[in-house]
């Protein structure tokens, strides 16, 4: 049996990669992928704990997360497509009209 720490470490690593991706990348698609990475890191942690606790709850949660993520992708990609139509670019720092 694999110790709990391993999948958790992997999860933490993936999450950190996701966070850094969101913070440093300017391409909206890449940022979006990074967000997905963070969601999947959380999923991994859920599954790991579910296995450790011998409980199905964590796995059920993962399905919920995946469903929500799928919906979110649909909305998010629609926004990005529209942003591209408007500006011919998906660079988020070019969409800065909301500055104070």
Residues of this chain that interact with another protein (CB under 8 A) are 19, 22-24, 26, 31, 92-93, 95-100
Closest to another protein by CB, 51 or 80: 80
Contact 80, 90 (CB under 8 A): yes
Distance (Å, whole) CA 72 – CA 27 = 18
Phi-psi region of 54 (alpha: psi -120 to 50; beta: other; left: phi over 0): left
- Output the smallest distance, CB 99 to another protein, in A: 3
SS3 91: strand
Taking the complex as a whole, how short is the minimal distance between the CB of residue 77 and another protein, in angstroms? Answer: 16
Q: Which is nearer to another protein, 26 or 67 (CB)?
A: 26
Q: b vs e for 8-35, b when ≥16 Cβ sit within 10 Å of the residue's Cβ?
A: beebeebbeebeebbeebeebeebbebb
Q: How far is the CB of 58 from another protein (least distance, A)?
A: 21
59 vs 89, beta carbon nearer another protein:
89
Nearer to another protein, 51 or 65 (CB): 65
């Amino acid at each position: 049996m694999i110790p709990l720490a391993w999948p958790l470490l992997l999860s933490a690593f993936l999450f950190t990669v996701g966070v850094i991706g969101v913070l440093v990348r300017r391409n909206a698609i890449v940022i979006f992928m990074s967000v997905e990475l963070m969601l999947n890191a959380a999923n991994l942690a859920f599954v790991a704990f579910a296995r450790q606790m011998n409980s199905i709850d964590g796995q059920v949660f993962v399905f919920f997360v995946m469903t929500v993520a799928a919906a979110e992708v649909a909305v998010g990609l629609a926004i990005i497509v529209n942003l591209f139509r408007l500006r011919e670019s998906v660079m988020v720092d070019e969409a800065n009209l909301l500055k104070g």
